A and B are shown apart, each in its own frame.
Chain A
Amino acid sequence: MAKRALRITALSYLGALIALPVGYVFYKAFEHGFAAAWESVTTPEAQHAFWLTLEMVAIAVPLNTIFGVICALVLVRQRFRGRALLNAAIDLPFAVSPVVVGLALILVYGRKGWFGGWLLDHGIQVIFSAPGMVLATIFVSLPFVVREVVPVLREIGTEQEQAAQTLGAAPIQTFFRVTLPAIRWGVAYGVVLTTARALGEFGAISIVSGKLAGQTETLTLHVENRFQAFDLTGAYAAAVVLAVMAIATLLAMNFFKPKEGVR
């Protein structure tokens, strides 16, 4: 009985707070038929927003993966002054509101910011254009790979790597043949979370992008734009596209996951 009560509690909590609202968005999107929804997500603005979002993900995710693994290696394998500081700094994007991140980027790279003026003089516009949006996306999605990889690195220890060394492997060979395969599920899960976070970023991007439809509008901003223009079908349909992309990422990971017992 108690078991059953626990299960019902868990399921109704998830149902009321996650499944119901998300399900309702799907329902609303197709309320006026598939054709109407399709039409609203294939407008030039919507298409541009779709590709721009993918572009952000395509830049932020690989960078955060590579640097995330490097940060994790440094945190786990090295002892140095300031290590605790680095550890705390990596969690900063979790703690700080994305709005603050957006404002901070404007302070640094804006027209009147520290580097903004100099960069503008050299023809590089950061704020209200793609570079600033990439910076914001990287900032908010940075911790995931590090936080997923650190515990795995701790667990595997260094013996396998030392064994590889004594067998003649150079550091780079050891990394690609021994370390990376050993942490690959941590990395994969980190990539999934990073992708999901990058897809869904709204706060920081909405400040640094300037929200120019068809230019600096990502999918999340496009949803807001449609919603405020009372184009509810357009807003819900774009939201569905976002949700489907996130779900596809999660499924992709489950698809590649190893069968139990092999590891």
Chain B
Amino acid sequence: MSIQVQGASKQFGDFTALDNVSLDVPDGSLTALLGPSGGGKSTLLRVIAGLEEPDAGRVLISGEDATAKPARKRGVGFVFQHYAAFKHMTVRGNVAFGLTIRKRPKDEIRAKVDELLELVHLEGFADRYPAQLSGGQRQRMALARALAVEPRVLLLDEPFGALDATVRKELRAWLRRLHDEVHVTTIFVTHDQEEAMEVAEQIVVLNHGKIEQVGAPRDLYEMPANEFVMSFVGPVNRLGDGLVRPHDLVLSRDDGAGGVEAMVGRVVHLGFEVRIELTLSDSSPLTAQITREEADELELAPGDIVYVRSEAPRVFSENERPAGTP
């Protein structure tokens, strides 16, 4: 089901969590809300779920105004960062909760729960308690619990934020596959740009309660709308008036091709690529990323002087500066 947010605002005391935010999420899509903490992404997700009431604005779920509906009537599945597992219930009890509430027949519940446990790879864990599961298993249980009621929309609030790096990677790939199988409209919140890029079809960048840009991962990376988006979705260097990505920098030994002078500080071998940490004459730092062959050719060592130029520096005008920065 499609989701529309129209002019949503939310204030917590003096803090503006959402400032007149409007957003369209197409049916069946997988969307990431990306931004720094305090940027408003969790609040926006909770407003869509009905867990938070906006001070102004509307929420439409498949075209129908849901602003006044309580969370339990919105048909959304919600997954929390810290799982929100029902600790006194077994895994089976947790997953069955929504169906038990709806008073479905016992056989039907049993079959549905078994099917979902298989989907989240927790077949053998039905009789365990959440305390006996690992973090990743608890989060998969929480996902199965949310999916059990066949929600129209699946909302995930930093779902992998509390997990360690390996499990996080695994679950990301798994969420992606799950979405391809189940096709439920999914929105997830993350502050990790890599996670957003890897999983989402559409990314919404939020900062200071406002949407900075909406677009496909590649568009955000290649055509950032402003400085904030450019520096949030990937590493950047400041070179003169412009911003430039480390791999868009070209290094050379002689100054014939132009470019600014810099001193090599450290050479870090990352495998296929090499990261060169440089210092400009005004002592500001610069990071370049080049291929191993280029690095071999240049034979760089700490203390060497090189000349740096950029293929594609991006200069943003004042009005493209993100909200809230001077």
CA gap between A240 and B21 in the complex, in Å: 70
Q: Does A162 contact B (CB under 8 A)?
A: yes
Closest chain A CB from B84 CB (angstroms) = 4
CA gap between A173 and B98 in the complex, in Å: 11
| Residues of chain A lying within 8 A (CB to CB) of residue B98 | 167-168
B interface footprint on A142-160 (CB within 8 Å = 1, 0 otherwise): 0000000000000000011
Q: A162-B78, A262-B131, A263-B131 are in contact. Are A167 and B145 (CB under 8 A)?
A: yes
CA gap between A94 and B40 in the complex, in Å: 45
Q: Does B149 contact A (CB under 8 A)?
A: yes
Pair A167/B97 contact, Cβ less than 8 Å:
yes
Pair A164/B76 contact, Cβ less than 8 Å:
no
B interface footprint on A23-60 (CB within 8 Å = 1, 0 otherwise): 00000000000000000000000000000000000000
Pair B71/A166 contact, Cβ less than 8 Å:
yes
Pair B78/A163 contact, Cβ less than 8 Å:
yes
Q: A166-B76, A166-B78 are in contact. Are A160 and B86 (CB under 8 A)?
A: yes
Q: Which of chain B's residues has its CB closest to A262's CB? A: B129
| Residues of chain A lying within 8 A (CB to CB) of residue B129 | 262-263
Closest chain B CB from A21 CB (angstroms) = 40
Q: Does A82 contact B (CB under 8 A)?
A: no
Pair B101/A166 contact, Cβ less than 8 Å:
no
Pair A263/B101 contact, Cβ less than 8 Å:
no
CA gap between A262 and B145 in the complex, in Å: 20
Q: A159-B80, A159-B82, A262-B129 are in contact. Are A165 and B72 (CB under 8 A)?
A: yes
Q: Does B303 contact A (CB under 8 A)?
A: no
Interface size on A, residues (CB 8 A): 20
CA gap between A166 and B86 in the complex, in Å: 13
CA gap between A163 and B141 in the complex, in Å: 13
Q: Which of chain B's residues has its CB closest to A184's CB? A: B88
Q: A159-B82, A160-B84 are in contact. Are A168 and B131 (CB under 8 A)?
A: no
Q: Could you tell me which residues of chain B, from 133 to 151, have a CB within 8 Å of some CB in chain A? A: 142, 145-146, 148-149
Q: Does A169 contact B (CB under 8 A)?
A: yes
Pair B149/A178 contact, Cβ less than 8 Å:
no
B interface footprint on A214-240 (CB within 8 Å = 1, 0 otherwise): 000000000000000000000000000
| Residues of chain A lying within 8 A (CB to CB) of residue B77 | 166-167
Give me 5 other A-B pairs in contact (C-beta within 8 A), A166-B74, A263-B129 excluded.
A159-B82, A162-B51, A164-B97, A167-B98, A182-B88
Q: Could you list 19 examples of A-B contacts with CB < 8 Å?
A: A160-B84, A160-B87, A162-B51, A162-B84, A163-B78, A163-B84, A163-B145, A165-B70, A165-B71, A166-B49, A167-B72, A167-B77, A168-B73, A168-B101, A169-B101, A177-B97, A181-B86, A184-B88, A261-B131
Chain B residues near A (Cβ < 8 Å): 49-51, 70-74, 76-78, 80, 82, 84-89, 97-98, 101-102, 129, 131-132, 142, 145-146, 148-149
